[in-house]
């Protein structure tokens, strides 16, 4: 594996940028994370093809990062390459009831556009941060609704073979999983929405936003729910029940607003967040016999994790 050689082979060859040692704290909503050995912004499928080809030849591990809103990046950074999707993946269009968007578009922009065109089906996603590609990859949603249910088709790029179009029902949508990351890099998707009543769409969005503002620590850096809700239970309720709401480790804290959110109160390290997570898992296991499963994704290596 040679990161230097990969950098030299890619530098100047892409429409997007290539960097060495880019700090992941600049690319995660937590504002946490050390340097990525290589960072490549792909502006097009052509860029993506070249980057994945070079990385495969140089035997460098890589991951695609959206807005980093569901990620905990290691303080030691990531030894491989981080790929982000640029320009050509940031387009979207709406024709009748079909919304087609690149994976790099922010979910918020799509929610607003659907609303503006009087389309219903995406209201649940109001206030959900991140990119469209990220939302699809993890089947983002609430307890009642998730993005996979409105997907007509997803186009993925499979390194070495090219673009493949998958129909919505062929995809293994689960609770915060989709099976998509194993199938390729999500580059675009089409959503089948329906014409709705503007007043109803607006009130449903406003109600969701009000609920989020009341129950989630939106003003502090966070990565959303840290743990998945165990079946029939609520991770937030369990963490509060074992007395950890408000507990701190270094700069990280179980939010006073919602115990399943760990916030960065300033200068938190990934190790601080992990310390709190391990604490919650231990106490909830001891006191309730329930195993809390992380919802956030780990990037890089974590001692003991």
Closer residue to ligand EPU, CB minimum distance, 86 or 141: 141
Task: Answer yes or no: 176 catalytic.
Answer: yes
Task: Answer yes or no: 297 catalytic.
Answer: no
| β-bridge pairing 62-64 and 252-254 | unpaired
**Choices 93-101, 109-117, 197-205, 221-229 (CB under 6 A): range interacting with ligand EPU:** 221-229
Contact 36, 24 (CB under 8 A): yes
Q: Out of 9, 31, 176, 269, which one is annotated catalytic?
A: 176
Sole binder of ligand EPU in the list 9, 31, 245, 283 (CB under 6 A): 245
Task: Answer yes or no: 170 catalytic.
Answer: no
User: Smallest distance from the beta carbon of 48 to ligand EPU, in angstroms?
Assistant: 27
Closer residue to ligand EPU, CB minimum distance, 234 or 281: 234
Residues 6+ apart with CB under 8 A from 112: none
**Choices 37-45, 49-57, 198-206, 253-261 (CB under 6 A): range interacting with ligand EPU:** 253-261
Is 67 a residue that touches ligand EPU (CB under 6 A)?
Answer: no
Residue 187 φ/ψ region, left for φ over 0, alpha for ψ in the -120 to 50 degree band, beta for the rest: alpha
Residue 232 φ/ψ region, left for φ over 0, alpha for ψ in the -120 to 50 degree band, beta for the rest: left
Buried b (16+ CB within 10 A) or exposed e, 35-47: bbbbbbbbbbbeb
Closer residue to ligand EPU, CB minimum distance, 215 or 282: 215
Q: Out of 225, 247, 255, 283, which one is annotated catalytic?
A: 225
CA distance 265 to 208: 25
Sole binder of ligand EPU in the list 130, 295, 299, 300 (CB under 6 A): 295
Sole binder of ligand EPU in the list 27, 31, 92, 258 (CB under 6 A): 258
Kindly state the DSSP code that residue 142 receives in the 8-state scheme: -
CA distance 168 to 148: 7
User: Smallest distance from the beta carbon of 65 to ligand EPU, in angstroms?
Assistant: 16
Is 148 a residue that touches ligand EPU (CB under 6 A)?
Answer: no
Closer residue to ligand EPU, CB minimum distance, 25 or 229: 229
Sole binder of ligand EPU in the list 125, 190, 193, 259 (CB under 6 A): 259
Question: Residue ranges of the alpha helices (H) in 58-106?
Answer: none
Sole binder of ligand EPU in the list 205, 260, 263, 269 (CB under 6 A): 260
Is 20 a residue that touches ligand EPU (CB under 6 A)?
Answer: no
Residues 6+ apart with CB under 8 A from 74: 33, 34, 270, 298, 299, 300, 301, 302
Residue 45 φ/ψ region, left for φ over 0, alpha for ψ in the -120 to 50 degree band, beta for the rest: alpha
Closer residue to ligand EPU, CB minimum distance, 92 or 258: 258
Closer residue to ligand EPU, CB minimum distance, 247 or 295: 295
Closer residue to ligand EPU, CB minimum distance, 25 or 225: 225
Chain-centre distance of CA 92, in angstroms?
A: 19
Residue 20 CB burial class (10 angstroms; 0-12, 13-18, ≥19): middle
Is 203 a residue that touches ligand EPU (CB under 6 A)?
Answer: no
Instruction: Find, among 279, 265, 270, the residue nearest to 303 by Cα.
Output: 270
User: Smallest distance from the beta carbon of 98 to ligand EPU, in angstroms?
Assistant: 26
Q: Which residues are catalytic?
A: 176, 225, 295
Could you list the residues that contact ligand EPU (CB under 6 A)?
A: 142-143, 215, 224-225, 228-229, 234-237, 240, 245, 258-260, 295
């Amino acid at each position: 594996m040679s990161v230097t050689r990969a950098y030299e082979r890619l530098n100047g060859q892409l429409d997007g940028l290539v960097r060495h040692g880019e700090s992941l704290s600049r690319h995660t909503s937590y504002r946490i994370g050390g340097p990525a050995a290589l960072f490549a912004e792909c502006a097009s499928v052509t860029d993506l093809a070249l980057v994945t080809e070079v990385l495969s030849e140089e035997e460098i591990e890589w991951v695609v990062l959206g807005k980093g809103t569901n990620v905990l990046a290691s303080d030691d950074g990531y030894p491989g390459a981080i790929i982000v999707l640029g320009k050509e993946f940031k387009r979207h269009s709406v024709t009748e009831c079909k919304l087609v968007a690149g994976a790099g578009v922010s979910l918020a922009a799509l929610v607003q556009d659907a609303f503006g065109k009087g389309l219903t089906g995406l209201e649940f996603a109001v206030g959900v941060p991140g990119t469209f590609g990220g939302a699809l990859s993890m089947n983002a949603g609430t307890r009642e609704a998730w993005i996979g249910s409105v997907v007509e088709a997803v186009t993925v790029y499979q390194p070495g073979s090219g673009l493949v179009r998958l129909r919505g029902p062929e995809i293994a949508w689960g609770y915060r999983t989709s099976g998509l990351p194993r199938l390729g890099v999500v580059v675009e998707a089409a959503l089948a929405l329906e014409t709705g009543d503007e007043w109803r769409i607006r009130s449903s969005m406003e109600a969701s936003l009000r609920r989020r503002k009341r129950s989630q620590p939106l003003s502090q850096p966070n990565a959303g729910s840290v743990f998945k809700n165990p079946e029939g239970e609520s991770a937030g309720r369990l963490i509060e029940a074992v007395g950890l709401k408000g507990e701190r480790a270094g700069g990280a804290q179980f939010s006073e607003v919602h115990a399943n959110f760990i916030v960065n109160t300033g200068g938190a390290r990934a190790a601080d967040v992990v310390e709190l997570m391990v604490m919650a898992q231990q106490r909830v296991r001891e006191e309730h016999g329930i195993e809390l499963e992380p919802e956030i994704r780990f990037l890089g290596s974590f001692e003991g994790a």
